[in-house]
């Protein structure tokens, strides 16, 4: 920390020697590893860009020059070097540093960026708006597999303005990279240092851990008058042996799980169902490990598809699978499914196709910040025709709905959180479309209505109230998009309290108000 403690702002870096810059990189890796392991967050991706970030701050003049991260989970070293070292121990904590770039946090953060493939589009707009200084996109972790990147690439060629985009090529998204672009980058890794890409000058195969070489290339880019690409090869997890050997596992770390998660139950259950149902396909968008599908991918490679960071394609391709008679289960995080909304509406729901959406990270997801909270899926999916939404209360109910969905002939969304399963219930009423279940029924005039993970806290509260002499009943409103009107009719005249972990629009509470 002898070097890092001297760095208060990026201009402090500019007088360092090459040897001091390398020591600075070591200090950064130590701090990032210490607090990411303690607080949770994105580890391997941030370790991989430490040298690159040091060189960027050495050459460019932030915040006059604008650095746009794509994806934003590469920003930890940048945050530390831009005056936030003394707050880094608060990473992803309440009122602490956000795990992604955040404009409200610092003038050095150009744009809030939690999703992938957005940087080049942002850059096109900023260039047209005549922003002073250089505009630099740091594009990594599979962001080039997203369709928005190619839409922006088509546009950037028409600009008479300079944009620098750096491809952080670590051969990974969150899982291994897939598709044509990954194969193209493999070719670039074997070629010399200069070429062109769609008439854009490209400097290829730059060593992303050679600070001296990075500085030379960045100086060239800074002095150039035209748009250019710098292809920088890095190692995800650099400096931490475990992360280098298993970058997917260390992409995002959290406290050790001792109990099954909803995601692990989903993966195990779908694998079991696929043994007896050859029509089942599993589709994900660069989230093989995160959605629990690693074993499925190994066992059924012909029925597993990772499309890369291309959620819209994942959904529309699944519509094609359903049209062919297959049964697609599409596993995408809640916050990322938002990006495929038109595909869900236009290609699946209007066609009333039997696609199963398995929505991980639904509800609150802790320290990841507002770009990643899964609070909107109920509102936007409820607005689509033919859609059914279900929230399982525990692992057993998740297994049951995944099996039940095999024979359901319309779209269904099954939403569940990131966390460990809090408890297993003794009550498991057979699933019937639109039917809720009583968890506790004693004829009380007070009824608590909830679903999913939140139900566990509601049941705990019911027990605490009982100990105080207050008797309440509890309902598992597991079907969100189909209110159980028969059960609701039995509740007329009673006091109803709703506990739901998503926004108000199209919530069960709002539906009941309309009855």
What span, in angstroms and rounded, lies between the C-alpha atoms of 42 and 254?
Answer: 9
Running DSSP on this structure, what letter comes out for residue 174? S
CA–CA separation, 354 and 486 (whole Å) = 26
Torsion of CA 275, 276, 278, 281, to 10 degrees: -60
337: how many CB neighbours lie within 10 A of its CB?
31
Which residue numbers are catalytic? 236, 311, 339
Question: Closest Cα to residue 251, out of 99, 117, 358, 417?
Answer: 99
- Which has the closest alpha carbon to 123: 138, 140, 135? 135
Strands, E assignment, 102-184? 135-140, 164-169
Cα separation, 247 vs 241, in Å, equals 10
Q: Which of 46, 4, 450 is nearest to 238 (CA)?
A: 46
H/E/C letters for each residue in 402-423?
Answer: HHHHHHCCCCEEEECCCCECCC
Q: Which two tokens stand for residue 135?
A: 């505009």
Q: Is 104 helix (H, G, I), strand (E, B) or coil?
A: coil
- The Cα 474–Cα 500 span in angstroms is 13
Cα 492 to chain center, whole Å? 41
| Long-range Cβ pairs for the range 270-278 (8 Å, 24+) | 270/296, 270/329, 270/358, 270/402, 271/295, 271/296, 271/299, 271/300, 273/402, 273/403, 273/406, 274/299, 274/300, 274/303, 277/327, 277/406, 278/303
**Is the peptide bond preceding residue 63 cis, with omega within 30 degrees of 0?**
yes
> Of the candidates 513, 492, 508, which has an alpha carbon nearest to the alpha carbon of residue 445?
492
Distances 189 to 186, 211, 229, 245, 355 between C-alpha atoms, Å: 5, 18, 14, 20, 39
Letter string b/e over residues 283-317, b meaning 16 or more CB atoms within 10 A of that residue's CB = bbbbbbbbbbbbebbeebeebbbbbbbbbbbbbbb
Q: 131: which 2 tokens? A: 């922003």
**Terminal Cα-to-Cα distance of the chain (whole angstroms):** 63
Residues β-bridged to residue 304 = 282
């Amino acid at each position: 920390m002898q070097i890092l403690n001297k760095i208060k702002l990026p201009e402090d870096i500019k007088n360092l020697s090459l040897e001091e810059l390398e020591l600075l990189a070591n200090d950064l890796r130590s701090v990032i590893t210490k607090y990411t392991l303690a607080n949770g967050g994105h580890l391997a991706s941030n370790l991989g860009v430490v040298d690159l970030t040091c060189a960027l701050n050495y050459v460019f003049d932030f915040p006059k020059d604008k650095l746009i991260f794509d994806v934003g989970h590469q920003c930890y070293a940048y945050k530390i070097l831009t005056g936030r070292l003394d707050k880094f121990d608060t990473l992803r904590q309440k009122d602490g540093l956000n795990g992604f770039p955040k404009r409200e946090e610092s003038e050095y953060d150009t744009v809030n960026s939690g999703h992938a493939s957005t940087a080049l589009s942002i850059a096109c707009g900023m260039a047209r708006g005549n922003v002073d200084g250089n505009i630099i996109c740091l594009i990594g972790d599979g962001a080039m597999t997203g369709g928005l990147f190619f839409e922006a690439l088509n546009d950037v060629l028409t600009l008479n303005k300079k944009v620098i985009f750096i491809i952080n090529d670590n051969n990974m998204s969150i899982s291994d990279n897939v598709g044509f672009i990954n194969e193209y980058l493999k070719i670039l890794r074997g070629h010399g240092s200069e070429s062109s890409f769609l008439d854009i000058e490209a400097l290829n195969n730059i060593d992303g851990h050679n600070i001296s070489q990075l500085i030379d290339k960045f100086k060239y880019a800074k002095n150039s008058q035209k748009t250019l690409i710098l292809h920088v090869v890095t190692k995800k997890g650099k400096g931490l042996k475990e992360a280098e050997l298993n970058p997917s596992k260390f992409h995002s770390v959290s406290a050790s799980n001792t109990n099954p998660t909803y995601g692990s139950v989903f993966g195990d259950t779908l694998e079991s169902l696929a043994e007896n149902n050859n029509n089942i396909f599993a589709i994900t968008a660069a989230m093989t490990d995160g959605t629990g599908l690693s074993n499925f991918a190994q066992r059924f490679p012909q029925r597993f598809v990772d499309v890369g960071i291309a959620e819209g394609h994942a959904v529309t391709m699944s519509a094609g699978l359903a049209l062919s008679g297959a049964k697609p289960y599409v596993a995408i995080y809640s916050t990322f499914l938002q990006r495929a909304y038109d595909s869900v509406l236009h290609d699946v729901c209007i066609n009333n196709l039997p696609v199963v959406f398995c929505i991980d990270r639904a509800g609150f997801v802790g320290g990841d910040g507002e770009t990643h909270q899964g609070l909107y899926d109920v509102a936007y999916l409820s607005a689509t025709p033919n859609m059914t939404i279900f929230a399982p209360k525990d692992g057993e109910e998740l297994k049951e709905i995944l099996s039940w969905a095999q024979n359901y002939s319309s779209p269904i969304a099954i939403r569940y959180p990131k966390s460990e399963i809090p408890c297993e219930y003794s009550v498991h009423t057979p699933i019937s479309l639109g039917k809720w279940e009583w968890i506790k029924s004693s004829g009380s005039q007070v009824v608590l209505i909830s679903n999913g993970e939140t139900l566990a806290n509601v049941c705990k509260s019911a027990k605490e109230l009982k100990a105080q002499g207050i008797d309440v009943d509890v309902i598992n409103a597991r079907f969100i998009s189909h209110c159980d009107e028969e059960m609701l009719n039995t509740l007329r005249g009673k006091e109803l309290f709703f506990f739901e972990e998503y926004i108000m629009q199209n919530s069960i509470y709002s539906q009941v108000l309309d009855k």
